[in-house]
Copies of this chain bind each other. A is one copy, B any other.
Amino acid sequence: MVKKVVIADDHPLFRAALKQAIRKISTNAKIMEVSSLGEASDILAGEDNINLLLLDIHMSDSDGFAGLIMYKQAYPLTPIVIVSASEEPEIIRNAIEFGASGFIPKSADLSVIREAINTVFEGQSWWPEVDGLSKLGRNGRIGFSESSKLFSTLTPTQSKVFMAIAEGLLNKQIAFKMDISESTIKTHITAIFKKLNISSRTQAVIFAKDLEKNTKQD
């Protein structure tokens, strides 16, 4: 079966490196490259059954774990592996807690990267060996902002709608994009507002931007 992989990283060189690594594993994989969260959103919205999303956590577009949180909400079944220049246990911990399937430090050599990707392709998780990770304790989330807590109560579909609002789309455009009626979009929006304690899409955008900012810890 042909693997579908999305690489979201704004460094062309590293994107190429990741691409090489994937090619070694799966020669005929369909690899899509993007350099911003915005583009990544478009791909995820348009493609089904993506086998892997390699997500850099410090893209110029909108750094942070926001992407991970949002995509995991909207596409819980798509495996996401975080790619990062740093290796701090705190970041890895958060990646785990936010539902990532793995973590690849940019310092890792090709063989490690291949091993990680292979592991995730097989449906398992892959984490680097780092001091301080063991004392993790899966109970409760760490460094979770209030916004993140509220956001995490959204259902996958609500999350998608929310992200579309944050891109500045009209209800009509969201409806078209998701191929459901505008009426349903409104239903979702009303539910979203109640969960997030807000009352307008304008405030939703502010909420989204705060979320991006507060989850940034690269």
Taking Cβ atoms with an 8 Å cutoff, the residues of A that contact B are: 165-168, 170, 198, 200-203, 205-206, 209
Contact = CB atoms under 8 A, between A and B. Distances in A.
Contacts of A203: 168
Nearest to A205: B205
A13 B34 CA distance: 44
Nearest to A204: B202
Given A165-B202, A167-B206, A205-B206, 14 more contacts: A166-B206, A168-B198, A168-B200, A168-B202, A168-B203, A168-B206, A170-B200, A201-B202, A202-B202, A202-B205, A205-B205, A205-B209, A206-B209, A209-B209
A3 to B, nearest CB: 34
Question: Which of A165, A168, A170 has the largest count of B CB atoms less than 10 A from its CB?
Answer: A168
A205 B165 CA distance: 11
A63 to B, nearest CB: 9
Contacts of A200: 168, 170
